[in-house]
Amino acid sequence: MVCRIVVLISGSGSNLQALIDKLDRQHGEIVAVLSNRPEAFGLERARRAGIETLVLNHRDYPDRESFDRAMISTLDALQPDLLILAGFMRILTPEFVSHYHGRLLNIHPSLLPKYKGLHTHKRALEAGDSEHGATVHFVTEELDGGPLVVQARVPVIAGDTPESLAERVQYQEHVLYPLTMNLFASGRLRLIDSRACLDNEPLGARGIEPEQID
Ligand code: GRF
């Protein structure tokens, strides 16, 4: 059975592009890309790849709950096995998150649990960290707090700016996210009893590094 994947975006969609380019088509299909912003460039990337695009503008809804309910009905019609948040810049309601429990992945530009939330590159530089990175995790109700799957480290170099650091972190994101998607699509990655498991073995609290995966 092919895993039906929907990618949710709000912006440029460079991660979406990596997902499209590196999808293991034997196990997965990106059936649609949904954006909450009509002008998101990622929609253009999806169209070029022949993928269905959907726009649900959060500004058309009176509150977060009604927006998320509209998303649930739109997404459920697609019968997704996996939802991938790829720069989707909306906080999701507990109702949405629990509805897709075990089927919802996010990528965050930091070595979680460090630097949840925004401006992660600037915060890592201000703290004088020697390394920074990106993390893919299952989404739970705690913002940027669900079980970690994979994490990639990036050294901080003298003279780094938030922009230069972001560029190197994004390069790693484009490795991590397709890898995770393909592990899920092939059935090797699952959320079991609230723990991320690879080949039925629970991963450690910090997840796994890409080099450790065969
Ligand atoms: C990525 O850096 C990701 O970590 C964060 O949002 C950014 C999305 O970038 N959640 P893009 O739209 O995939 O280029």
Q: Are residues 36 and 84 in the same domain?
A: yes
Residue 139 domain flag: no
Over pLDDT 90: what percentage of the chain? 92
Distance between Cα 86 and ligand 1 center (Å): 6
Ligand 1 binding pocket mutation candidate from 173, 174, 175, 181 (most atoms within 8 A of CB):
173
Distance (Å) of CA 131 to CA 113, 124, 152, 177: 14, 8, 10, 20
Residue 127 belongs to some domain of the structure: yes
Neighbours of 203 (CB within 10 A): 17
Whether residues 91 and 122 share a domain: the answer is no
Report CA(64)–ligand 1 centroid distance (Å): 21
Residues 127, 90 within the same domain: no
Q: 116 and 95 share a domain? A: no
Ligand 1 centroid from CA 39, angstroms: 16
- Asked, for residue 141, whether it belongs to a domain, the answer is no
Nearest CA to ligand 1 atom 3: 87
Three-state SS for 184?
helix
- Angstrom distance (rounded) from CA 172 to CA 79: 30
**Which residue from 170, 175, 176 has its CB within 8 A of the most atoms of ligand 1, so it is best to mutate?**
170
Q: Write the pLDDT tens digit of every residue in 83-93.
A: 999 999 999 99
Q: Does residue 90 sit in the same domain as residue 119?
A: no
The pLDDT of residue 137: 98
What total of structural domains would you count in the chain?
2
Spell out the residues 6+ positions from residue 82 whose beta carbon is closer than 8 angstroms to its own. 3, 4, 5, 6, 28, 103, 105, 181, 184, 185
For 182-200, write each residue's pLDDT tens digit. Answer: 999 999 999 999 999 999 9
Question: What's the average model confidence in pLDDT over 21-36?
Answer: 98
Classify residue 57: in a domain, yes or no: yes
Here the CATH number for the domain that contains residue 60 is 3.40.50.170
CA of 40, closest atom in ligand 1: 12
Last residue in a domain, options 77, 100, 123: 100
Domain presence at residue 41: yes
Using pLDDT thresholds of 50, 70 and 90, give the confidence band for residue 142. Answer: confident
Average pLDDT along the chain: 97
Query: 78 and 10, same structural domain?
Result: yes
Chain centroid, CA 105 distance in Å? 5
Residue range of the domain that includes 156: 109-134+146-214
* 67 shares its domain with 126: no
Is there a single domain that holds both residue 126 and residue 205? yes
For residue 114, which of 203, 205, 6, 31 has the smallest C-alpha distance? 205
- Same domain for 207 and 120? yes
85 and 153 within one domain: no
The dihedral region occupied by 112, where left means phi > 0, alpha psi between -120 and 50, and beta the remainder, is: beta
Same domain assignment for residues 172 and 84: no
Q: What angle do CA 63, 191, 17 make, to 5 degrees?
A: 65
- Say whether both 1 and 94 belong to one domain: yes
Of the candidates 39, 31, 29, the one whose C-alpha atom is nearest the C-alpha of residue 9 is: 39
β-strands 195-198, 201-202 pairing: antiparallel
Residue 140 placed within a domain = no
Gap between the Cα atoms of 95 and 72, Å rounded: 9
What pLDDT is recorded for position 144? 86
Residue 27 annotated as catalytic: no
Q: Which two tokens stand for residue 42?
A: 């990622």
